[in-house]
Structure 1
C-alpha cells in the first residue's frame, strides 16, 4: 500500500491553490469564541456520565493483582448473593468476543489484540478478570470487593521492569508505518574523525493522560443484533467498527454516541471496559453503565511508554553536523500492539547532517498496551534531540539558535522529499526578538537571586502534518438560507464545531451564524479519529469535496433560461448565499434555486481524497520554545517563570482555539519535564501511584504566564493551508526546560522528570569548593 501511494504521489500534480486562500474577507482566521463554551459552563453539555436510559444498571470491575499466570479459581458466590447484584461475568460465562482490531489499521480503535475475558490467562497486573452488574454503582462496587481470585503463577517469570530487562528488546517491525532503521553515510567513521562529540543517554518516564473525565461507557442492546453505545471516545466511527467486529454484527447495527468528551489526549480509544460493558449488557438483557475509577484508568488503559534513548552528534570546527544518530528502546504490552512510539521522528525531520542513523527497539512487558498520549514519540524524542543540540552548540561556542541556522536542511534528511512549507528558523528569529533572547547570559551559573539560580533555554518543536483518509461529510442547504454540516467528528474542547462552522460558512458563502455543525454520532457520515492533529484538515477536505458535489446538484436545479443557463461547475462558485458565476457574474441565491425546484433542502456528500500530498512532500509543523527558569540551591526545586512558544503550523483557522491548544500542549510538557512519572513495582508490575494525588500533573501554581505566537504562512499543499495544532505544543518543552536549567545552574539533566532528587546531587557535584 505504501509503495502504491508513493507511485501515485509521483504522478500527482501540485494542488491547485484553494480560491478561498486568496480572499481577505473570510471568517476563518478570525478569533471566535467556542460554540460549546456556554453549554459547558452552564452544565448543559451532555457527557456520557449524564446518559440515563430506562432500566440502566451499573458495572464494577475486578482487576488482576498479578502480572502473569492464569486464573486457577474465582469465588463469586458471595458477590452473586449481595444486595442488588444482577450478574457476575467472568471468562466462564462471558459472551464470545473477537480480539479487537488495532487503531493503526484504520479499521478499529484498539491498541491491543489481547483477548477480552475469553480465557483464564493473565497478561498484566490490572487486567479485568470479572465484572459485577448491580442496580446501583455502590452495590456493584461492594459486590466486586467480595470476589476472590486465586492464581496459578507457576509459569515463566513475568517481565515487568523496563530498566533491567532491556537486553530482551528487539527491533520494532515498523514505526507508525515507516522504516524502523534508516542509515545514511558512516556515522561511526564521522564520529572518529570529528572535533566535537556529544554522546549521551536520556531516559523518560511512563506517563498517563489523566483526562478530567475518566473513561465511561453505557451499552444497550435493542435486540440480539442491534447495539447502541454512549462512550467517552475520540474515535466514534472506529469504535463502531470495532464493536461490530468484536460481537460479529453488521456495522450498521451498531451506533456510537459521544456528544462531548472531557479530555482524551490519545487515550480514549477502545479498551476492554467498553467490550465488557457491551458483553454484560448482552448477557443481562438490560443497559449497563461502566465507569472506570481513577485508579482503574491507570490499570485498565494504557499511557505513554517509558524510553531509553541515546543521541550522538559529531561536528567539526566549521560548525556543521558530521553525524547525527538517535537510537533507543520503548516498551509495548506483552500482546504486541504494533505501537512503537516514534521517538526518532524529530531526528528524521529537523536537522541536516553528513551522516545519519535512526533506529528503534521495543521491549515487550507485562503491562497495559502502550498507547497514544499527546504527540506520542515526538515529545519524548524531542527532549533527547534538542538537549543534545543545545550541548553541541555550547561545545562549539555558538548560540544555540545560530547553530540551528548552520544545520538547516533544504530537504527532509530521512526521505529526501522537499518540504511543502518550512519556516523553522523564522520561528526562532521571531521568538528570540519577542522573548529578549539577546539579554540571556550564555555563561552557565552566572545569575543568582537569593537562593535561586536563573537561566534561559530554547528548543525546537516539531510534529508531522497528518491527514487520515476516508473521512466523509454532508452539506445540507435549506431554502431559508441555513446550512447543516454533518460528520461523525469529536468535540473534546479543541473547538472543532467552531472552526468547522467558520470554514463551511466561507465555503458556502453564508454568515457563520447560519451554519450548524452536527457531530458526535456514528449515524452521521463516517469520521476519522480525533488524533494526530488530523481531524481538522480531514473534515475540511471532506466538506470541500461535498461543496463540489453541491455545485453540481444546484446547477441541475437552476431554471432554464436563467442566469446560470449553460454554466458548468468550473464556471461558478458558492458565495453571497447562493451559486454565482465566477468573477462577480450573475447567479441565484439558495432560496431561489431550491424554491424554484420545489425543494426545502438539498444534501451533498463528500469523501476526502487520499492524502497523497503526504507522499510527495515532507509536511511538518515547526516551532521554537523559549523559557526562563529558577533553580533553588537549597531545595533543588525548578520553577518556570516565563514561557513563549512560536509556531509554524500553516494557516491558523481560529486564533482563540489555536492559542488554547498551544498553551495546553505546553502545560502538558511542563508536567512531562518536572512532575509526571508512573511508578511501577519492579516485582509485581503493579502501578503504585494510580491517582491524581500521587501522579502529579501541573496545577495552577506550577504554570507561568504562557505567551504563544504563530507565523500563519499557509501550506499550499494542505486543505485551507492549515495544519493541526493539538500536538505540537508539547514538543520541545521538556528540552527547553532542561536547557534553561543548564544555563541557570550549570548542570545537564538527561532523565525525566527533573525532580529535586535529581537536581540536588547534580548541584552538589558542580558546586565550587571552598576558597
Structure 2
C-alpha cells in the first residue's frame, strides 16, 4: 500500500476528459449523525446513513431519473421463442408510428466490435459469443431481437407492439436432463487425499441428493442505461451498474475508443445482488442507438425483462457423501454438482468451494459439471456458489449429526479447520469457535434435548436448527483521491459504488478517522470513472479493499499539509511535533489560506500482496427457530440469531443491516424463491412480483445479529473484511435443519413449500 501527493501546484486533481460533477444533492455536506455539527466520529461508530436524506426526499438520482435535452426513449423487443431463427420481420407499422425515430433489427446499422465476457475472454459481453443484433439466430426466450426508439416512452412502447416477427422454432433444451453434463473449461475435479480409504475407515455414512431452484435477483431498481455522444466523439453513459470500470472497458472495446474517451456514471444503484455486476446487451445497444441517431437515448428494462436480460442464479443438483468415525470426525467427503449454463457461456455455480475449506477432512473429492441449455445466461447472485453449496453441505452435516446422536454444534467443533485445508495456510483471522459459542448463548441452544417432531404448541411443531457461514475474500487493488479544501472540509473520490450497502457512510467514516475531521465535514463521491479506479462492488470487497485506499489517500494529504506547516517558519505550527497536532476544520482552512491554495489532494493505493501467506475468509454461525403448522404445512421462521467474524466492524449499523438482509435472503431461499420455467417453451412462467415470491416484513420474525469484532491483522491495517454476502451463506440450511427438527421430515429440495411438507 502506498500513497502519492498530487503534483499540481494548487493541489487540484488532474483534469479528466469529462469534468467531475458536483456531489449528488443531500450528500454534501454529510448530515451530522448526532445532531451536533463538528462532532468527530471514529471507526466503529453506528453512524446513520449519509445518503438517507437524499433517498427519502427523492433528491438521489438513479439512472432512470437522469434527464438530458432532446432525450429519446428506447424499448427492447424480445424473442417469444427459446430456440430457432427469425425468418421475417415486418417493421413498416412500427417505423411509421407517431414519434418513432428508428427501429433497429438484426443485421441493421448497429455495428459493434466483439467484447470479452466477465467469464470467458473469447466470448461476447454477456453470455453470448455474438454482438447484440448481429444475426437472426435465437438462443433463448427473451433474447433482444429489436430496439425501437421514439421521442417518448409511451410512443416507443406502442410502436414496439406493432412489430411483427416470424420464427422457425425448434424444441429448446430447458432441463439438465435434456443434455449431457460437461466438465467446465479449466475446472478440473478437486481431489485431496484418498476418498476410498476415508470411506473404508468410516463408521457412519450419509449419502443424499439435494437440489436448489433457479432464482432471480429482483432488485428494486430495474436496469437502465442512458448514453450520450459529444460532438468530439466522446461517450458518456449513465448506467445502473455495480462496476463502472467494466462498463467503460466494454464500451471502449465495442466502439473502438480509447478508455479515457468513455465516461461511465452510476451515483446511486437501487440494489443489484449481482444482476448489475457485469455488462449486458442493452448497455451496448443503448450506446449504439445514441451514436446512430446523434442524440441521447435512454433504455430502461421492464420488470419482466429483468427475468431474461440480467442473469439469474442457476438451479443446482448436488450429491453429498459424508463419512465419519463414531466420534463424529470426518474421514471422507464427496460432493458432485450439476448446474445449467447458456449456449454461449461457461458460467459455473461453484457449489463445491465451501466444501473444500470449511471443515478439516483429509479425503475430499469435488466434481463440478455444467449443462448447456437454451436458456438466458446465468450470472453470479449474492454469495454465488456458496449459498446453494452451503445449503447442501450444512444439511448433510445435520443429517450426520442426527445419525450419530451428536449435537450439531459439537459435530462442527470436532471438525473445525485450524488452518485452511485447501492451501495449508493459516487463516488471516478466524474466530468461528467464538461464533458458535456466542450464538448458542444468545439463541439459547437446547434444541437437541428433544427428539425431532416432539415439540408442539397446539397445532404448531417447533424446531431449531443451525449452520455455519463463510465467505472468501479475493485480493483486489484499489485507489482513491482525498482532497482538503480551504473551507475546512474534505472530499474523497473513488470509482466504487453504493448499491444500498452504506458505502457513502462507511468510507466517510474511514476518511474522517484518518484525517481527524468530524464526519460531517467529509464528502464522499462515488460511481464515476473520472475518479480513481476501484474493484467492482461484488464479492463483499468494498470495505476490505477500497477502505484501505481511502485511508492511504487521507493520510497522504493530511501528512502533506502538516509537513508544509511544520517546515514553514511563518506557520504557527512551525517545528511542532506531528504527534501533538490535532487536525481540524479551522487548522485546515488556516493553513491552506496561509499557503494560498484552494485545496490540496493526494492519491492513495491499496495493493495487497500477490501471494498473501494467509487464507482470507469471513466466518459465522446461524441459529434458527421455526414453527410449522401441522395442518397446512406453513413454515414461519420465528427468530434467527447470526454471529459473524468479519474482522473490524467499521459501522455496526450498516453492517447489521447488511447481515439482516442476507439472513432474510436465506429465509427467502429456504421457503419461497423459485423461478418456474415452462419446460416446453423455455420461458419464465411468472416474471413479476405477483408470481415470483419474495418475503415481506410480515414473513420475517425476529432477526438478531452479533459481531465478534476482532480486526484481521493481515488483510490490511484497517482490519475489515466484507459483510455483504456472508449473511446468506448457511442461513437456508439453518432454516431447513430447524424444519427437520420440528417435523422429523427431511426435505432436501428447496424451497420448503407446504405441499412438500404435507406429502406422504
**TM-score scaled by structure 1?**
0.89
Matches within 5 A, 1:463-542: 463-469=471-477, 471-542=478-549
**Counterpart secondary structure, 1:437:** coil
Q: Which residue of 2 aligns with 1:79?
A: 94
Indicate conservation of the 8 Å contact 1:125/1:367, yes or no.
Answer: yes
Matches within 5 A, 1:582-601: 589-591=587-589, 593-601=591-599
Indicate conservation of the 8 Å contact 1:551/1:574, yes or no.
Answer: no
In structure 2, distance between residues paired with 1:513 and 1:193: 62
How many residues matched? Answer: 716
**Counterpart secondary structure, 2:446:** helix
CA offsets per residue over residues 370-403 of structure 1, 9 Å max, x none? 1121111111100000001111111111100011
Q: Which residue of 1 aligns with 2:710?
A: 713
CA offsets per residue over residues 393-428 of structure 1, 9 Å max, x none? 111111000111110112111221111111111111
Deviation of residue 551 (structure 1)? 5.7
Residues 535 and 104 (structure 1 numbering): CA distance in 2 closer, same or farther, change over 3 Å? farther
Q: Which residue of 2 aligns with 1:181?
A: 189
Q: Which residue of 2 aligns with 1:409?
A: 417
Deviation of residue 453 (structure 1)? 1.0
Please point out which of 101, 109, 132 is paired with 2:148: 132
Deviation of residue 516 (structure 1)? 1.0
**TM-score scaled by structure 2?**
0.90
Q: Which residue of 1 aligns with 2:109?
A: 94
CA offsets per residue over residues 637-668 of structure 1, 9 Å max, x none? 11111111111111110011011000111111
Q: Which residue of 2 aligns with 1:148?
A: 164
Indicate conservation of the 8 Å contact 1:207/1:676, yes or no.
Answer: yes
In structure 1, distance between residues paired with 2:294 and 2:662: 43
Q: Which residue of 2 aligns with 1:612?
A: 610
The answer to whether structure 1 residue 437 and structure 2 residue 445 are counterparts is: yes
Please point out which of 280, 285, 302 is paired with 1:276: 285
Deviation of residue 548 (structure 1)? 5.1
In structure 1, distance between residues paired with 2:69 and 2:705: 48
Matches within 5 A, 1:262-273: 262-268=270-276, 269-273=278-282
Please point out which of 305, 316, 339 is paired with 2:325: 316
**Counterpart secondary structure, 1:616:** coil
Deviation of residue 480 (structure 1)? 3.3
In structure 1, distance between residues paired with 2:582 and 2:350: 46
The answer to whether structure 1 residue 121 and structure 2 residue 137 are counterparts is: yes
The answer to whether structure 1 residue 666 and structure 2 residue 658 are counterparts is: no
In structure 2, distance between residues paired with 1:374 and 1:447: 34
Indicate conservation of the 8 Å contact 1:94/1:118, yes or no.
Answer: no
Q: Which residue of 2 aligns with 1:289?
A: 298
Q: Which residue of 1 aligns with 2:426?
A: 418
In structure 1, distance between residues paired with 2:553 and 2:386: 34
Residues 653 and 81 (structure 1 numbering): CA distance in 2 closer, same or farther, change over 3 Å? same
Q: Which residue of 1 aligns with 2:752?
A: 754
CA offsets per residue over residues 549-586 of structure 1, 9 Å max, x none? 4366446634355798899xxx956962179xxxxxxx
CA offsets per residue over residues 344-392 of structure 1, 9 Å max, x none? 1211221011311222111111222211211111111000000011111
The answer to whether structure 1 residue 254 and structure 2 residue 262 are counterparts is: yes
Residues 424 and 711 (structure 1 numbering): CA distance in 2 closer, same or farther, change over 3 Å? same
Q: Which residue of 1 aligns with 2:37?
A: none
In structure 1, distance between residues paired with 2:262 and 2:661: 34
Residues 255 and 402 (structure 1 numbering): CA distance in 2 closer, same or farther, change over 3 Å? same
In structure 1, distance between residues paired with 2:548 and 2:404: 46
Deviation of residue 311 (structure 1)? 1.2
Q: Which residue of 1 aligns with 2:381?
A: 373
Q: Where do 5+ consecutive residues of structure 1 fail to align?
A: 1-24, 580-587, 765-771
Residues 445 and 29 (structure 1 numbering): CA distance in 2 closer, same or farther, change over 3 Å? same
Q: Which residue of 2 aligns with 1:767?
A: none
**Counterpart secondary structure, 1:313:** strand
In structure 1, distance between residues paired with 2:632 and 2:267: 46
**Counterpart secondary structure, 2:140:** coil
Indicate conservation of the 8 Å contact 1:312/1:325, yes or no.
Answer: yes
The answer to whether structure 1 residue 197 and structure 2 residue 205 are counterparts is: yes
Deviation of residue 672 (structure 1)? 0.7
**Counterpart secondary structure, 1:682:** coil
Q: Which residue of 2 aligns with 1:307?
A: 316
* Structure 1 residue ranges, 4+ long, deviating more than 6 angstroms after superposition: 105-109, 562-567
Indicate conservation of the 8 Å contact 1:715/1:722, yes or no.
Answer: yes
CA offsets per residue over residues 736-765 of structure 1, 9 Å max, x none? 01100110000111111111121111xx3x
In structure 1, distance between residues paired with 2:371 and 2:206: 26
Deviation of residue 435 (structure 1)? 0.6
In structure 2, distance between residues paired with 1:62 and 1:70: 15
Please point out which of 214, 221, 233 is paired with 2:241: 233
Q: Where do 5+ consecutive residues of structure 2 fail to align?
A: 1-39
**Counterpart secondary structure, 1:345:** coil
In structure 2, distance between residues paired with 1:603 and 1:101: 35
Deviation of residue 479 (structure 1)? 3.1
In structure 2, distance between residues paired with 1:223 and 1:367: 40
Q: Which residue of 1 aligns with 2:741?
A: 743
In structure 2, distance between residues paired with 1:43 and 1:600: 32
The answer to whether structure 1 residue 158 and structure 2 residue 172 are counterparts is: yes
Q: Which residue of 2 aligns with 1:693?
A: 690
**Counterpart secondary structure, 1:754:** coil
Please point out which of 674, 679, 702 is paired with 1:682: 679
Residues 727 and 656 (structure 1 numbering): CA distance in 2 closer, same or farther, change over 3 Å? same
Residues 617 and 104 (structure 1 numbering): CA distance in 2 closer, same or farther, change over 3 Å? farther
In structure 2, distance between residues paired with 1:107 and 1:230: 27
Note the aligned Cα RMSD (angstroms): 2.3
